[in-house]
Amino acid sequence: MDYVNGPGRNHLFVPGPVNIPESVLRAMNRNNEDYRSPAVPAMTKILLEDVKKIFKTTTGTPFMIPTTGTGAWESALTNTLSPGDRIVSFLIGQFSLLWIDQQQRLNFKVDVVESEWGQGANLDILESKLAEDTAHTIKAICIVHNETATGVTNNLAKVRRILDEYRHPALFLVDGVSSICALDFRMDEWGVDVALTGSQKALSLPTGIGIVCASPKALEASKTAKSVRVFFDWKDYLKFYKLGTYWPYTPSIQLLYGLRTALDLLFEEGLDNVIARHSRLGKATRLAVEAWGLKNCTQSEEWFSDTVTAVLVPPYIESSEIVRRAWKRYNLSLGLGLNKVAGKVFRIGHLGNLNELQLLGCLAGVEMVLRDVGYPVKLGSGVAAASAYFQNNTPLIPSRI
């Protein structure tokens, strides 16, 4: 059943799906249940309350939809917008590109604001667009918080500041797929109208739940949005929320219990500690890249991502060869470069339930692979840089003090 077994563990460092903690695997190891019994709604009710915490919202309404991030995108858009609506969307890498593709296919009029891949969203252009748009023809701003393809984190607080400055009523829709539960994200404080993530990212679950959280303003918009939708329609959920049965169609029982445990782990560690841990992992990875003499695909510190690092390889190396070899020789799974940066970058995902030594094992592996493909890295150099940082900054595990 394991098509391509290797001895020891697979070292999973793609930026999703990510490593699942053993306690989450345990929680999901169960038979199906009647989702219409009193038990599942009781659990769902609490889950919906708790899930708001990962968005840092008290006023939002979450939807846990049996779908992927792509479906969550569709749910965010179709519930709040009508065909022909004008939206501003930032193209900074493969995932923002795919979202824009979806926006266009859903018949929105998209002002695409493109940056060089490796740069963040061009907020100056946003500013000028909003300044011009006194008629409020722009209905929504769509932005990925963290572009998984390039390891670029956008400044959402600044987006909000710009919107506020121009008192622009556009909805603020955020793809938080590779950020929420890992990066600092504040739905209420930043006035985000729809935020979304997928279970297989920093929540460290299997794929299968697209979590979409809607602000009161977004919910209000959904009442008049004319985009055609059924499966992704919030209305059906809201109807069942009111009934107290919560599910318009069958949820995955296993994922609900898995989510319960995933949230327990996050809250036990403390969401701020989780974010601090990701900050350590990101910083250490970047120090290693620097020690290797390689460049981060992300062009400026302001956009550095603490969940994924895209590493530029020298022109004489094909980055996919690194990924292939890492898997074939060291049981290490790295992320490929996608689209414009295909062949040029490989990616290290450092998000989810992950600790320092796991990352150091990965970095040691990358060093060996780099030598395998002809890049004269000094073995141990990246590990040394990363572990120097860790040794100074890693706290004791609180439960073990």
Nearest to 17 by CA among 27, 7, 25: 25
Residue 170 vs 366, nearer CB to its own copies: 366
Please check whether residue 152 is in contact with residue 118, taking contact to mean a CB–CB distance below 8 angstroms. Answer: yes
User: C-beta of 316: minimal distance to its own copies in Å?
Assistant: 19
Residue 3 vs 134, nearer CB to its own copies: 3
Amino acid found at 153: T
Residue 129 vs 139, nearer CB to its own copies: 139
Residues numbered 33-72 forming contacts with its own copies, rule: CB under 8 A: 33-39, 42-43, 66-71
The reply, when asked if residue 286 is annotated as ligand binding, is no
Sole window of 142-150, 181-189, 212-220, 245-253 interacting with its own copies (rule: CB under 8 A): 245-253
Q: Does 82 bind its own copies (CB under 8 A)?
A: no
Q: Does 174 bind its own copies (CB under 8 A)?
A: no
How far apart, in whole angstroms, are the C-alpha atoms of residue 381 and residue 363?
10
Whether cis (ω within 30° of 0) applies to the bond prior to 17 is yes
295-296 and 171-175 strand pairing: unpaired
Q: Does 252 bind its own copies (CB under 8 A)?
A: yes
Count of residues of this chain found to bind its own copies when the rule CB under 8 A is applied: 122
How far apart, in whole angstroms, are the C-alpha atoms of residue 160 and residue 156?
6
User: C-beta of 177: minimal distance to its own copies in Å?
Assistant: 10
Residue 136 vs 371, nearer CB to its own copies: 371
Strand segments, DSSP code E, in 293-389 are 295-296, 308-312, 332-333, 345-349
Nearest to 311 by CA among 40, 118, 147: 118
Query: Which residues lie across from 213 on neighbouring strands?
Result: 62, 195
Count Cβ atoms within 10 A of the Cβ of residue 133 and give its class: 0-12 exposed, 13-18 middle, 19 or more buried: middle
Sole window of 5-13, 142-150, 186-194, 306-314 interacting with its own copies (rule: CB under 8 A): 5-13
Q: Does 224 bind its own copies (CB under 8 A)?
A: no
Measured in whole angstroms, how far is the alpha carbon of residue 32 from the centre of its chain?
28
Q: Does 255 bind its own copies (CB under 8 A)?
A: yes
User: C-beta of 162: minimal distance to its own copies in Å?
Assistant: 28
Count Cβ atoms within 10 A of the Cβ of residue 206 and give its class: 0-12 exposed, 13-18 middle, 19 or more buried: middle
User: C-beta of 353: minimal distance to its own copies in Å?
Assistant: 6
Residues numbered 193-222 forming contacts with its own copies, rule: CB under 8 A: 198, 200, 206-208
Q: Using CA of residue 359, residue 363, residue 364, residue 365, what is the dihedral sign?
A: positive
Sole window of 147-155, 187-195, 311-319, 359-367 interacting with its own copies (rule: CB under 8 A): 359-367
Residue 136 vs 239, nearer CB to its own copies: 239
How far apart, in whole angstroms, are the C-alpha atoms of residue 1 and residue 389?
40
Alpha helix (H) residue ranges in 153-227: 156-165, 216-222
Q: Does 272 bind its own copies (CB under 8 A)?
A: no
Q: Does 378 bind its own copies (CB under 8 A)?
A: yes
How far apart, in whole angstroms, are the C-alpha atoms of residue 186 and residue 169?
19
Sole window of 4-12, 48-56, 142-150, 168-176 interacting with its own copies (rule: CB under 8 A): 4-12
Residues numbered 321-340 forming contacts with its own copies, rule: CB under 8 A: 327-333, 335-336
Q: Does 173 bind its own copies (CB under 8 A)?
A: no
Binding residue ranges: 347
Binding residue ranges for substrate: 347
